[in-house]
Amino acid sequence: MKPEQNSPAAEPAAKGYRFNTFSGVFLPSILTILGVVMFMRLGTVTGELGILWALGILLVAESIAVATGLSISAISTNTPVKSGGPYFLISRSLGPGFGTSIGLTYYVSQSLSVPFYVIGFTEAFVKVFPSFAANQLWVGMIPLLVLFAIAIVGANWAIRTQYVIMAILAVSIVVILASAAVCGPTAGQFQANLHAKGGMKVNVLVFAAQFAIFFPAVTGFLAGVNMSGDLEDPRKSIPRGTMIAIAVGFVIYLTEILLFGATWPREKLLDYYATLKQTAIFHTGFLVFAGVAAATLSSALGTLIGAPRILQAFAADRIFRSLNLFAWGRGKNNDPIPAMCLTLLISVGILLWGSRQSGGTALNAVAELVTMFTLFTYAIINIAAAMEHFAANPSFRPKFRLFHWAVGCYGAVACFAVALFINHELLLVAFFIVGVLFLIARRKSLASTFGDARRGYYFERIRRDLIRLASMPSDAKNWRPQILILAGPNKKHLALIRYGSLLNNERGIMSVARFLNPGPDPAAAEKQRRQEEAKLWEIAQESGTIFLPVAVTTSEETDFDEALNVFLQSHSLGPLAPNIVLSGWPVNDDRVEAFFRHLQTIRLLRMNTLVLINPERAPEEPGDGTIDIWWRGRRNGSLMLILAHLLTSNREWRKTKIRLLRLADPEHRPEAEKELAQLAYDSRIEAEHLVLSQEANFETAFRAYSSHASLIFLGFIPPQVEDCRSFHERISAQLEGMPATFLAASAGDTDLDS
């Protein structure tokens, strides 16, 4: 019974706005980073804890942001990115279970961020115009509705509005930095504010509360990631825009902590916003308020256009039918109108609640909620990136090279540790919510029985995982080399095992089959089978390769070809069936027809074929040589390029260059070069490409360019039996005296874009 195929996700039909790195990622990210905390809470944190502890909070928070930024950069450069931001990237890395739980919780945290920023604006506005304190609700409600109107018109208008806001924000930041510089920072004031109030000791609860208040300042970098479906080139824009925004935000916050701590006494830091206005140069205190308004409202606007896109992408995956309405989008750009309306309702509800609070408690409470849910999202992003590494899929080839699995592990551990430190009760609630959503999404219960001994534990785990694996539809992204080697007793087949191990690269399960005809005695047959398997194990240990030895016994009534035909159709364990059959090249004329009949069987079974020719010319240490792939099309070419990539992942082949060679006539040469360059970019595999003139025939070009290669890949289509002898003679003559060569015939199950 074949596994049931999941219904395809409803992808948005529109291509989005196609923003560039600056407008689509950096601008919304930096405007969200430089938000309400910078104007309303940074001085308070510094005054309460002192410069040293404030710097400690900044460094811890930024280290989490950097780790998460590196993780999201790795994931986003390893897969085609569509709408949904972090939800899309997590769900495509860890599956629908984690994607569902994190997608919804992250959307909630982003929806809470909108009123968080609006409440910050309201608080600043009421301080400037105290007469409006009685109408605090409408002070926040009216800007919220205006921002909603801008967002619902279209993201392009929102981005244009953010350009104006950024100009106002930049002027305001220059004013407050210049004002502090004019007031005159001193070493004495710096020393006075170096430690917390009352000395060096800091109450744990106070520190946790201040960290929770400050942390939203470094969460804004995902505002650009939220726009993933509206970017022209997400693979380039997300890493660049995200990491630059994080760096710029860090420099500004670091400068303000040091400068303000060295300028103003502690009581003025605690009354931070009033101090900024009172000390503004040239009586430009209104620019401080303008900066607060710009920072808070731009952050709210960026989140208001980003959060609905997360919900829309989640709803488009059709996981919960009750949310299908939110998958709808308006117009050619697929603007998420229903999701925007829901975000507005959530924001209005929070504002109604916040209007009944006083003394900044609403802003602080929402900040803690946003912090907790965001930390959880960051942790899963880091886990997703680390899991991509540990899963060791050949498809994990991120263009972003600065990521390391240790960064993802640190980011995840740091997020959970900080969340536990801030509010362990709220963390438990978050765990419960995410866990319930995860279980609902999977709709499966975990087996709870295990064997007592180690073998029983492994057997049960393998049995359960095999059943799960068999129920999951296969995908090119999860393709792994499952190599079956048809080996004989001579030394030529040792080269097959060595190359099979290099190509497998511990990514799949390699098996080596040897056929025996021991005679009519069953006891002797079983003894010989065990001896041959023991010999294969010895070969594995001596050569340092890992494979499963299979000794196949045949009866006197069954010849080798019949036994091999049956074996090819039956050798598998559920989803762990071989997808590559690796063999040698027939050297005896009486075996040619039988050999190509088996190739036709392999093709009918939809397995890839690899034939190693000239194994005696294979180098032990390839060094700075080349792996030449003669490109004639994506079907065989995808398989050859992925196998070459796996080969160069081995230490001894790491310095070997991959070359893509193709013949083309002068008229189509530019098009061919562009195609190969795009192929290398899309595949995320480093390879040189060379388009040769087609004026010379293939044999001449082949010998001229590949006679000194370390290894050659040639694609082929197995000929019919009636044409096999002429094909065998032609290939044998063509490769005579040439380096070791793989003939590759793909079954079409590999995809370079995965």
- Strand 511-516 to strand 548-553: parallel, antiparallel, or no bridges (unpaired)? parallel
pLDDT digits (tens, 9 = 90+) for 511-525: 787 777 666 666 776
Whole-number average pLDDT of the chain = 81
Alpha carbons within 13 A on the beta-carbon side of 217: 33
Give the domain CATH number at 713. Answer: 3.40.50.12370
**pLDDT confidence band for 10 (50 / 70 / 90):** very low
Q: Which domain holds residue 238?
A: 21-442
Domain annotation covers residue 5: no
Helix axes 42-76 and 204-214, enclosed angle (nearest 10): 60
Identify which of 565, 569, 566, 535 has the alpha carbon closest to the alpha carbon of residue 550.
Answer: 535
The answer as to whether 200 is a domain residue is yes
**2 within a domain of the structure (yes/no):** no
Interval 551-606: pLDDT, tens: 666 655 556 777 777 777 777 777 778 888 898 898 888 889 988 988 998 888 88
- Is there a contact between 373 and 108 (Cβ–Cβ < 8 Å)? yes
648 shares its domain with 735:
yes
User: Is 431 contained in some domain?
Assistant: yes
pLDDT at 443: 57
H helix intervals, 607-668:
634-648
Tens-digit pLDDT profile for residues 345-360 = 988 988 888 777 655 5
Residues 43 and 114 in one domain: yes
Which of 415, 442, 469 is the last residue before a domain boundary?
442
Let me know: does 609 contact 744? Beta carbons within 8 Å: yes
* Residue that finishes a domain, picked among 442, 468, 497: 442
Interval 230-270: pLDDT, tens: 788 888 899 999 999 999 999 999 999 999 999 999 989 88
Q: Check pLDDT > 50 for residue 447.
A: no
Whether 736 is covered by a domain: the verdict is: yes
67 in any annotated domain = yes
Q: Indicate whether 349 and 432 sit together in one domain.
A: yes
Residue 441 corresponds to which tokens in the numbers above?
């999404």
Q: Which residue has the tokens 């340092």?
A: 544
The mean pLDDT of 29-48, rounded to a whole number, is: 85
* Confidence at residue 448, expressed as pLDDT on a 0 to 100 scale: 32
Asked whether the predicted pLDDT for residue 188 surpasses 80, the reply is yes
Cβ atoms of residues 150 and 160 within 8 Å: no
Over the stretch 401-422, which tens digit does the pLDDT of each residue have? 888 889 999 999 999 898 888 7
Do 199 and 334 fall into the same domain? yes
625, 530: one domain: yes
Residues 380 and 320 in one domain: yes
Answer yes or no: is 466 within a domain.
no
Please say which residue of 413, 442, 471 terminates a domain. 442
Contacts with 513 (C-beta within 8 Å, 6 or more apart), sequence order: 484, 485, 486, 487, 550, 551, 552, 567, 571
Mean pLDDT of 698-705: 86
Between residues 173 and 88, the one the model is more confident about: 173
The verdict on 364 and 311 lying in the same domain is yes
Query: Dihedral sign, CA of 72, 77, 78, 84?
Result: positive
- In this structure, the answer to whether residues 503 and 419 fall within a common structural domain is no
Residue 330's domain is classified under what CATH number? 1.20.1740.10
Q: Are 597 and 729 in contact (CB under 8 A)?
A: no
Please give the torsion angle defined by the CA atoms of residues 125, 126, 130 and 134, in that order, rounded to the nearest 10 degrees. Answer: 130
Q: Does the pLDDT at position 2 exceed 70? A: no
Quick one: three-class SS letters along 4-41?
A: CCCCCCCCCCCCCCCECHHHHHHHHHHHHHCCHHHHHC
**Residue with token string 């942390």:** 215
Phi, psi of 360 (to 5 degrees): 80, 5
Query: Which helix (H) or strand (E) element contains residue 744?
Result: strand 741-745
- Asked if residue 449 belongs to a domain, the reply is no
Q: What confidence score (pLDDT) does residue 557 get?
A: 53
Percent of the chain scored above 90 by pLDDT?
Answer: 18
Specify the number of domains making up the chain: 2
Tens-digit pLDDT profile for residues 707-743: 999 999 999 999 988 899 999 999 999 999 999 999 9
The region of weakest confidence among 271-275, 318-322, 643-647 is 318-322
Whether the Cβ atoms of residue 610 and residue 493 lie closer than 8 Å to each other: no
Residues 575 and 304: their CA atoms lie apart, in Å, by 45
Q: Order across the sheet with 483-486: list the strands.
A: 548-553, 511-516, 483-486, 580-584, 608-613, 741-745, 711-715, 626-630, 657-664, 688-693
CA atoms within 13 A on the CB side of 252: 24
Per DSSP, helices labelled H in 572-668 are: 592-604, 634-648
CB atoms within 10 A of CB 474: 12
Cα distance between residue 315 and residue 322, in whole Å:
9
Stronger pLDDT, 289 or 367, i.e. the higher one: 289
Give residue 451's pLDDT band: very low, low, confident or very high (50, 70, 90): very low
Specify whether 396 is located in the same domain as 489.
Answer: no
> What pLDDT is recorded for position 712?
93
Mean pLDDT across 288-314: 86
Q: Are 419 and 528 within one domain?
A: no
Give percent of the chain with pLDDT exceeding 70: 87
Q: Are both 508 and 423 inside the same structural domain?
A: no
Co-location of 58 and 150 in the same domain: yes
Q: What angle do CA 89, 93, 94 make, to 5 degrees?
A: 115
| Full-model pTM | 0.73
